[in-house]
Structure 1
Amino acid sequence: MRLARVVIGLVLLVGGLYVIIGEHFAGTSADATINARLYVVRAPIEGRVTLAVKSIGARVSPGEHVAEVTDERFDTARLLELERDRDNQRIELKRLAGQRDVLSQSRTGFDAQSTDYQRGRIRQIEARLAETKATQDAAAARLREADAEFKRANELSTRGVQTVAGLGKARATFDVAQQELESAQQRVNYFETELTSARAGVFIGESYNDAPFSTQRIRELDQRLAELQVDEEQVKARITQFDRQIDAEHLRVNRLTSATLNARVPGLIWDVLVDDGEHTRRGQDLLKLVDCNSLIITAGVSESLYDSLSIGAAVQFRLFGDERIFNGTVTRLGGSGGASLYANLAVGPSPQHLQRFDVTVTVPDLAQQPDLGCAVGRTGRVVFSSGPIARLRRFLTLYGF
């Protein structure tokens, strides 16, 4: 019985020494910290800042409103000038439209006057034409009478009854009647031509132009209305151009007078660098956010262990006070004095860490754990080569213990 106790004690002693010595010589880090990149929210414009999230450690989602910067002293003189010029062009457009309406009304009056003149002139020509045709018919009747008288005189003269003087008088009467008929025919042709032209809107005569005063005024007004139409189109084009410039200026003013800042990544408020209501400069840092999508493990190792590592090497990570073990991969070998590597990280290196060699490890499974999704700052240990405890834990896990 005593011998059995001695054997069991020796076995436990050897096992304990094996575990202690094995763990001591296993490739583990001296320290390891869950870290993440910092996302800095800066003021895009100068102005007064209003913080929507003020507590450090608050969780934010992508697109969530975190701050707003307002500049109430921004110079809007250019915008006011453009709006004033556009208003002047609108006033000019109204003036042109009013002038066009007045001229259109005048043209309507002259058009009615021209129509009345044309109708009166046509009736006048038709009356003269009718009178001339009556004169023509009378001349034709006189010509027939003179012709009959001339023939009788000629017959009597042949018989010797009519004297030469009587025959000459009959001839003269016939010639005069023939000339009167020809003259009447010419006047009929003239009035018919004048009537045809008058119906077409062209008035011919000896003492007036081819168009009456009203028609001439209509032509002048049509030309002026066409010019006003061109002026209106130009003013409308300028108003459209001013509208585009004003819209662009509004966008510029809105960008420079007010800026709404939203979180671009899911994370935590790591630090608040300004007070609510403080006047900030353009480009000034306002907030620091931890990017929870960029969790990494920063660890410090000895030089001998560092020389045996390589990019892509598989490792294990375990938090202090937590039995869970997570698989990871070496993604960066920072070497000694890696203080510059922590400029954009949430947790900086300790003086002891800077005396060691820096190694960066990614552990994708951390983001899948509800309690570790953004556990920046928690510490643990990275195992680069398995020790006795790790082998024992894998054995128990493999066989379901």
Structure 2
Amino acid sequence: MAKQNSAQRQSRARSGAIAALPSGSKHASRERGSTDDAAQTLDIRGLQRRLEEHVVLGEPTVERDAVATPKGTKAALNPMIRRVGKVLLGAAVVAVFGLVPLRTLLQTSSVEAVVNARIMTLRAPIAGEIVAAPADLAASEAVPAGKTLLHIVNPRADRGRLDDLRRSFGQLTNQRKGVEAKLAAARLAEADLAGQAEKFRLGRIEQLVARVAEQESLIVVAGARREEAVAARDRSEALSRTGNVTAAEFARLTREVTAMTETETSARHRLAALNVELTAARAGLFLGDSYNDRPSSVQRGDEMRQRIVDLEADLAGIDAELERLGPELEAEQARYRASADVAMTLPVAGRIWETMVSPGEQVRVGQDLVRLVDCSTAIVTANVTESVYNRLSVGSTARFIPADGGKELQGRVVNLTGLAGAPANLAIEPAALSKEPYRVTVSLPGLGSQACGVGRTGRVVFGE
């Protein structure tokens, strides 16, 4: 029964297909039927193919009848060639662009990596007030070493010791000026007295020379008188024998000779004394009855010279005291400046990481002011998987590849902290890298010479 129904459906389909043929096709069939009855009968496979083309494709195509022709074979091969070409091209693209991820997957590298640096904290050395900051404390660019960040002024700094030293130094300075004035006056007076003494000495010598000459003249006169007295006595003695001269006259003339002789002797002694005085005067010593070896002008000159010596000693003592107080005063001034006004400068090149004060704020000794990133100690903090961590050791070579495509930097592993949260004074805590718990620190010598790039991310490749 099922077979009969199937045969009926096929018969109806073929009849419908024949009826559905265009009128041109029917007319062509009649012509062919009139020409050759055998060719009029349609092949069952041909009818089936035409039926499929009409039902599936919607319209019959005469060209598809020529399946076995070379042109049909070429048209059937073209889609296959294009399909194979596309497959080969896709395989090449996958091979080329998949090589980099595959190579990355096979490399011993970090999961995360970030440029890090040590944190330097500037603390207040004195208590005081923050005044206008010459540097912009909110600036994010690198600050050169030696740049002043802010000032701290302490108007209540102790200056008692400084005032005492300044007062003592001022008094000694004024005292020195007074001693210098007295010393100059004493030297002037001493020079005047020395001039007077010299004039006195020269005058005294001239006087003694004149007295010596006078005394020599007196000696000559005394000698002449003595000779005259001797001659008179001799005459009187001769006359006394004849009785012409009395004994009394002879005695008087004898006394006259003795007196004249003694007068001459006395004059000679006085001349000797004058010569002694003259010799002493020429030697600078003055002999007389009214004074000792020196006259009053010379004695006053001696006193003035002694005063000059005393004043010079006082001046030397003052100079020594000033020399002692000078360095002490400078040290106290430096101490006062250090406790009254401090300029906070950057000891190394770095970047302001955190500002903890503002102008006008009162701070205490040791209070944190500014936190700075020491760019000269830049390192790379990375985290790795457990398998990679177990293959690393301190001193292993490493290469940092910046994520922004910058220049790759060579370095070495300097610390392996693993799971331990080792404390580190770093700008970015290693715990911030949370994808893997095993942490590695890499030192890159070439990183410190570049711009302060703390926070830049990238990847660390080990062992290359």
Letter in 2 for 1:360: T
Residue in structure 2 matching 1:360, options 435, 441, 444? 441
Aligned to 1:301: 384
Aligned-partner Cα distance in 2 for 1:269–1:349: 20
Aligned-partner Cα distance in 1 for 2:453–2:335: 41
**Structure 1 residue ranges (4+ consecutive) displaced by more than 6 angstroms after TM superposition:** 16-22, 161-164
Aligned to 1:220: 303
Q: Tell me, yes or no, if the aligned pair for 1:315 and 1:329 is still in contact at 8 Å.
A: yes
Go from structure 1 to structure 2 and tell me whether the alpha carbon gap of 1:140 and 1:337 turns closer, same or farther (over 3 Å shift). Answer: same
Structure 2 unmatched ranges of 5 or more: 1-79
| TM-score, normalisation: structure 2 | 0.70
Output aligned runs, 1:78-117, within 5 Å.
78-108=161-191, 110-111=193-194, 113-115=196-198, 117=200
Give, in angstroms, the shift of residue 360 of structure 1. Answer: 1.3
Q: Tell me, yes or no, if the aligned pair for 1:110 and 1:218 is still in contact at 8 Å.
A: yes
Letter in 2 for 1:240: E
Go from structure 1 to structure 2 and tell me whether the alpha carbon gap of 1:185 and 1:21 turns closer, same or farther (over 3 Å shift). Answer: closer
Q: What is the aligned-residue identity percentage?
A: 33
Letter in 2 for 1:71: N
Give, in angstroms, the shift of residue 28 of structure 1. Answer: 2.9
Letter in 1 for 2:161: R
The answer to whether structure 1 residue 314 and structure 2 residue 392 are counterparts is no
Q: Tell me, yes or no, if the aligned pair for 2:111 and 2:435 is still in contact at 8 Å.
A: no
Give, in angstroms, the shift of residue 171 of structure 1. Answer: 4.1
| Secondary structure class of the residue paired with 1:242 | helix
Q: Tell me, yes or no, if the aligned pair for 1:337 and 1:355 is still in contact at 8 Å.
A: no
Letter in 2 for 1:285: D
Output aligned runs, 1:202-351, within 5 Å.
202-320=285-403, 322=405, 326-341=409-424, 344-350=425-431
| Deviation larger for 189-198 or 119-128 | 119-128
Give, in angstroms, the shift of residue 32 of structure 1. Answer: 1.4
Output aligned runs, 1:69-218, within 5 Å.
69-108=152-191, 110-111=193-194, 113-115=196-198, 117-118=200-201, 121-122=204-205, 125-126=208-209, 128-153=211-236, 165=247, 170-218=253-301
Structure 1 unmatched ranges of 5 or more: 387-401
Q: Tell me, yes or no, if the aligned pair for 1:338 and 1:354 is still in contact at 8 Å.
A: no
Q: Tell me, yes or no, if the aligned pair for 1:53 and 1:67 is still in contact at 8 Å.
A: no
Aligned to 2:459: 381
Aligned to 2:123: 42
Aligned to 1:27: 108
| Deviation larger for 283-292 or 320-329 | 320-329
| Secondary structure class of the residue paired with 2:322 | helix
| Deviation larger for 324-333 or 113-122 | 113-122
Give, in angstroms, the shift of residue 368 of structure 1. Answer: 6.7
Q: Tell me, yes or no, if the aligned pair for 2:212 and 2:271 is still in contact at 8 Å.
A: yes
| Secondary structure class of the residue paired with 1:203 | coil
Q: Tell me, yes or no, if the aligned pair for 1:56 and 1:270 is still in contact at 8 Å.
A: no
Aligned-partner Cα distance in 2 for 1:133–1:259: 93
| Deviation larger for 113-122 or 345-354 | 113-122
Give, in angstroms, the shift of residue 193 of structure 1. Answer: 2.2
Go from structure 1 to structure 2 and tell me whether the alpha carbon gap of 1:9 and 1:79 turns closer, same or farther (over 3 Å shift). Answer: same
| Secondary structure class of the residue paired with 2:430 | coil
Give, in angstroms, the shift of residue 347 of structure 1. Answer: 0.9
Go from structure 1 to structure 2 and tell me whether the alpha carbon gap of 1:375 and 1:219 turns closer, same or farther (over 3 Å shift). Answer: closer
Go from structure 1 to structure 2 and tell me whether the alpha carbon gap of 1:171 and 1:33 turns closer, same or farther (over 3 Å shift). Answer: same
Go from structure 1 to structure 2 and tell me whether the alpha carbon gap of 1:114 and 1:375 turns closer, same or farther (over 3 Å shift). Answer: closer
| TM-score, normalisation: structure 1 | 0.80
Larger radius of gyration between Structure 1 and Structure 2: 2
Aligned residue pairs, count: 380
Q: Tell me, yes or no, if the aligned pair for 1:32 and 1:298 is still in contact at 8 Å.
A: yes
Q: Tell me, yes or no, if the aligned pair for 1:153 and 1:167 is still in contact at 8 Å.
A: yes
